[in-house]
Chain A
Amino acid sequence: MSGQDYAYDLLKKFLQISTVSLPMETKLEQILHSISEAFQPDQCLLLRPDQVNPNGLFLRVVSEKKALCIEDGASFDKEKIFPDEERFLCPAFICLPMADGEHFQGILYLGFSKHRHFLSEEVGLLLLLAKGIGELLRNEILHAEADQTIAKLTALHTQLSTLCELNKTLLTTVHFERILGMILTATTHGDGLGFNRAMLFMVDEKRRVLKGTIAVGPDNAEEAGRIWKALSHKGGSPSVVIPQIESPPESVSQLDLLVKGIEIPLEQEQCILVKTVLEGRPLNIRTSQSDEGWFRTGREGHCSLSSGVGCYEGRLLSRDPKSYAFATVPLWGKGRIIGVILVDNLFNQNTIKDEDIQFLSMFANQAGLAIENALLYRNLQEAHHELKEAQSLIIHNEKMAALGELSNTIAHEIKNPLTAIGGFARRLDRTTLSESPEKRYTETIIQEVAKLERVLNDFNHYTHEHSMIYDSQDLSRILEASLSSVTDEFSKGKIQLVKEYGEGIPKVLGDPHQLKHAFHNLIKNACESMVHKGTLSLRLYPFSKNGASYVRLEVKDTGKGIDPESLPNIFNPFYSTKKSSLGLGLPIVHKIVISHQGQIEVDNHPGEGVTFIITFPAFEGVAAQGQS
């Protein structure tokens, strides 16, 4: 075989092998095999860079990328090489650098058991082959690196698209509770972040506590299995699936109830949750076998969240706090931390990896903003609601003002003729014999005029904002004065009056006319409810509560009571069950009592009677004066 031919064959084989898609190992084996066939060495080796000591035998090969040809191995100076390199000292050997420009990929070594002369063409060919192998290896490395990068990118892409899906989900609503539910569902959903359980705690700035808000997760392993199975049947991307998941009815999740009951003061710096808020970074608590470090968990019966002494809020989160592994991430709102998400894998005991936490943190950033938005929206809604209420109040007030103006004019026009009619009827009545049929006529006129006068007075009173003159008042005197205006009922013997005035009744700050009007209305109302016979009881007594003193008036009748359906409306103006009334009597009482910082309560017993209980704050100081 001529020199040219074997060189041609060898190069051809090398090219064939290097271009076939085979595992690298096989390729190298085949190449070495071909080289062995052509040169018939006793050893044909590929030395990886880590098998090559650059300072010994291979010094020049490595540093100068030149071939080392030794035709007489015995003449080689052993002083220059390392002991473990002696195995390479064959009678004849050749070392060739597998180098591709800068990158050194190792050495091609051929050893012969007999002295041998290396032709320059042979050396050239072997150099060429070594270089080729070097390039092949280099390619392989680049390939592997590319594959790794692609894998990383793919993983990142998956994460990002999940994140994107979850964000899409969060954008479907601004409803606060729903957002919270979705965030935790996304955190526990298999296509989302896939944790077993997730809990959310919100920072309450006013009360300086971290409050358990919502939790998602099965109560036990059995339920966990059932849910995961059900979820895997649903299919579809998270943005499709998660909004479909209805939040479970209130009482279903024990975990949710448990978490909702958790409240940790922000001063509990040892608590992992608080720490997450204060430090603003995720914490991954694997397990805590040691008592060392900045946190300590798992003393028997203690808190899973290592809250330290005096706080065991987290003790129920796992059966064995010692081995409880969990992670927390802060929820960022706009420039502040608004809460914490806690996740664990209690049921499948999967380790929480730092990548998981990183991913969760990314999600938490979005979630925090979504919560913040929902909160803002909620505040906006509340403000809107308040504005609406204020608006309707203004409209109501304007209506009342217009009504007042109109009524004032009409009432004045009616009042004078009514006074004349009633006045003359009374004059007629006095001169009419009680047996005569005319007596009934005059009495009817008098009664009806009296009713009309009351209606007009009530109306006038309700629609006028009276400027009140507040002064220290003795309620028993005002009560007596208002009683004198309804003496008719008592004198006829129809109604029995029982009065009970307590001792040492403090004075109250008030307007005597207003108070008299209120009492009058209550008494009149009570009398009217007792159609045939009855007892009106008036109790006036002092009492104190939380160190403050009050005066209380009870007006009790034995009438038919108030129909429970009407009860919520009795203080609403123009709501009346009586035919002859505008329904302003009790609203006036209410208005007057409220304007006196008082309270009014109703103790209603249909069929037995009703008691109105009015409480006024005592006017301190003046009460003492009154006693002296």
Chain B
Amino acid sequence: MKRILVVDDEENIRFLFKEELEEEGFLVELASSGEEALERLSLFRPDLITLDIKMPGMNGIEVLKRIRELERNLPIVLCSAYGDYKQDFTTWASDAYVVKSADLTELKSTIRKFLERR
């Protein structure tokens, strides 16, 4: 079973992602901040991370940088409320950028794309 780490400061988003992704057959672990995500990384050993950008404390871009230092090949999907950061070159280190929506089709297909490729 593929393991996904969902990083988001919004509890309900975490809840939604967990429900939806588990239904897709993934094992889902949650982190409510960048710091927590970095802690979970070595224990949980995810196959993919979804990462919110706007978070209190360490933001998604920073987390992205730190994870890349540790795990060069781990797929990371940036997941933001808007496309604001799409053109920001600091997000290029991620593998995909998905704008959050109630319709999770795009997110799911993006995740599947990476996990099936592996």
A residues engaging B (CB < 8 A)?
A: 408, 411-412, 415-427, 446, 449-450, 453, 456-457, 460-461, 464, 466-469, 511, 513
CA A464 to CA B83, docked complex, whole Å: 10
Task: List 10 interface pairs A-B (beta carbons < 8 Å), by A numbering.
Answer: A412-B82, A415-B100, A416-B100, A420-B13, A426-B103, A427-B20, A457-B99, A461-B83, A513-B83, A513-B86
Instruction: Find out whether the CB atom of A416 lies under 8 angstroms from the CB atom of B99.
Output: no
Instruction: Find out whether the CB atom of A415 lies under 8 angstroms from the CB atom of B81.
Output: yes
A478 smallest CB distance to B (angstroms): 15
Chain A residues whose CB sits within 8 angstroms of the CB of B103 once the complex forms: 422, 426, 450
Verify if B16 is at the interface (C-beta below 8 Å from A).
yes
| CB closest residue in chain A, given B54 | A412
A470 smallest CB distance to B (angstroms): 11
B117 smallest CB distance to A (angstroms): 20
Verify if B12 is at the interface (C-beta below 8 Å from A).
yes
Chain A residues whose CB sits within 8 angstroms of the CB of B102 once the complex forms: 418-423, 425-426, 446, 449-450, 453
Contacting A at CB under 8 A, from B27-44, are none
Chain B residues whose CB sits within 8 angstroms of the CB of A427 once the complex forms: 16, 19-20
Chain B residues whose CB sits within 8 angstroms of the CB of A469 once the complex forms: 87
Instruction: Find out whether the CB atom of A453 lies under 8 angstroms from the CB atom of B101.
Output: yes
B5 smallest CB distance to A (angstroms): 19
Instruction: Find out whether the CB atom of B84 lies under 8 angstroms from the CB atom of A460.
Output: yes
Q: A449-B102, A450-B103 are in contact. Are A420 and B16 (CB under 8 A)?
A: yes
Most buried by A among B82, B83, B100, B102: B102
Instruction: Find out whether the CB atom of A466 lies under 8 angstroms from the CB atom of B12.
Output: no
A265 smallest CB distance to B (angstroms): 53
CA A168 to CA B84, docked complex, whole Å: 65
| CB closest residue in chain B, given A417 | B12
Q: Residues of B within 8 Å of A, CB-based: how many?
A: 20
Instruction: Find out whether the CB atom of B86 lies under 8 angstroms from the CB atom of A415.
Output: no
Chain B residues whose CB sits within 8 angstroms of the CB of A446 once the complex forms: 102
| CB closest residue in chain B, given A467 | B87
| CB closest residue in chain A, given B8 | A416
Instruction: Find out whether the CB atom of A466 lies under 8 angstroms from the CB atom of B81.
Output: no
Q: Nearest 7 A-B pairs (CB), nearest first?
A: A422-B102, A420-B12, A415-B81, A423-B16, A416-B10, A460-B82, A419-B100
Chain B residues whose CB sits within 8 angstroms of the CB of A450 once the complex forms: 102-103
| CB closest residue in chain B, given A457 | B82
Instruction: Find out whether the CB atom of B81 lies under 8 angstroms from the CB atom of A416.
Output: yes
| CB closest residue in chain B, given A415 | B81
**Interface 1/0s, chain B 52-77, versus A by CB < 8 A?**
00100000000000000000000000
Verify if B96 is at the interface (C-beta below 8 Å from A).
no
CA A412 to CA B83, docked complex, whole Å: 11
**Interface 1/0s, chain B 79-103, versus A by CB < 8 A?**
0011110110000000000011111
Name the prevailing secondary structure of the B interface residues: loop
Task: Knowing that A419-B102, A420-B13, A422-B101 touch, tell me 8 more A-B residue pairs with CB under 8 angstroms.
Answer: A411-B81, A416-B13, A417-B10, A419-B13, A422-B103, A427-B19, A461-B83, A468-B87
Chain B residues whose CB sits within 8 angstroms of the CB of A419 once the complex forms: 13, 16, 81, 100-102
CA A25 to CA B44, docked complex, whole Å: 141
Chain A residues whose CB sits within 8 angstroms of the CB of B84 once the complex forms: 408, 460, 464
Chain B residues whose CB sits within 8 angstroms of the CB of A426 once the complex forms: 102-104
Chain B residues whose CB sits within 8 angstroms of the CB of A411 once the complex forms: 81-82
Chain A residues whose CB sits within 8 angstroms of the CB of B12 once the complex forms: 416-417, 420
Chain A residues whose CB sits within 8 angstroms of the CB of B83 once the complex forms: 457, 460-461, 513
CA A92 to CA B54, docked complex, whole Å: 141
CA A422 to CA B101, docked complex, whole Å: 8
| CB closest residue in chain A, given B23 | A427
B9 smallest CB distance to A (angstroms): 9
Instruction: Find out whether the CB atom of B87 lies under 8 angstroms from the CB atom of A466.
Output: yes
CA A422 to CA B16, docked complex, whole Å: 10
Chain B residues whose CB sits within 8 angstroms of the CB of A511 once the complex forms: 87
| CB closest residue in chain B, given A453 | B101
Instruction: Find out whether the CB atom of B81 lies under 8 angstroms from the CB atom of A412.
Output: yes
Chain B residues whose CB sits within 8 angstroms of the CB of A420 once the complex forms: 10, 12-13, 15-16, 102
CA A457 to CA B12, docked complex, whole Å: 20
Instruction: Find out whether the CB atom of A423 lies under 8 angstroms from the CB atom of B81.
Output: no
Most buried by B among A411, A416, A422, A468: A416
Most buried by A among B15, B81, B84, B87: B81
Chain A residues whose CB sits within 8 angstroms of the CB of B16 once the complex forms: 419-420, 423-424, 427
CA A449 to CA B100, docked complex, whole Å: 13
B16 smallest CB distance to A (angstroms): 4
Chain A residues whose CB sits within 8 angstroms of the CB of B10 once the complex forms: 416-417, 420
| CB closest residue in chain A, given B84 | A464
CA A276 to CA B116, docked complex, whole Å: 87
Instruction: Find out whether the CB atom of B87 lies under 8 angstroms from the CB atom of A423.
Output: no
A456 smallest CB distance to B (angstroms): 8
| CB closest residue in chain A, given B86 | A513
A225 smallest CB distance to B (angstroms): 77
A241 smallest CB distance to B (angstroms): 69
| CB closest residue in chain A, given B14 | A420
| CB closest residue in chain B, given A511 | B87
Chain A residues whose CB sits within 8 angstroms of the CB of B101 once the complex forms: 419, 422, 453
CA A419 to CA B47, docked complex, whole Å: 24
Chain B residues whose CB sits within 8 angstroms of the CB of A417 once the complex forms: 10, 12
Q: A424-B16, A453-B102 are in contact. Are A415 and B87 (CB under 8 A)?
A: no
Chain A residues whose CB sits within 8 angstroms of the CB of B81 once the complex forms: 411-412, 415-416, 419
CA A453 to CA B103, docked complex, whole Å: 10
Instruction: Find out whether the CB atom of B13 lies under 8 angstroms from the CB atom of A513.
Output: no
CA A446 to CA B102, docked complex, whole Å: 8
B93 smallest CB distance to A (angstroms): 16
A611 smallest CB distance to B (angstroms): 28
Instruction: Find out whether the CB atom of B20 lies under 8 angstroms from the CB atom of A423.
Output: yes
Most buried by A among B19, B54, B83: B83
A10 smallest CB distance to B (angstroms): 124
CA A416 to CA B81, docked complex, whole Å: 7
Most buried by B among A415, A468, A469: A415
Chain B residues whose CB sits within 8 angstroms of the CB of A416 once the complex forms: 10, 12-13, 81, 100
CA A254 to CA B5, docked complex, whole Å: 86
| CB closest residue in chain B, given A459 | B82
B84 smallest CB distance to A (angstroms): 6
| CB closest residue in chain A, given B19 | A427
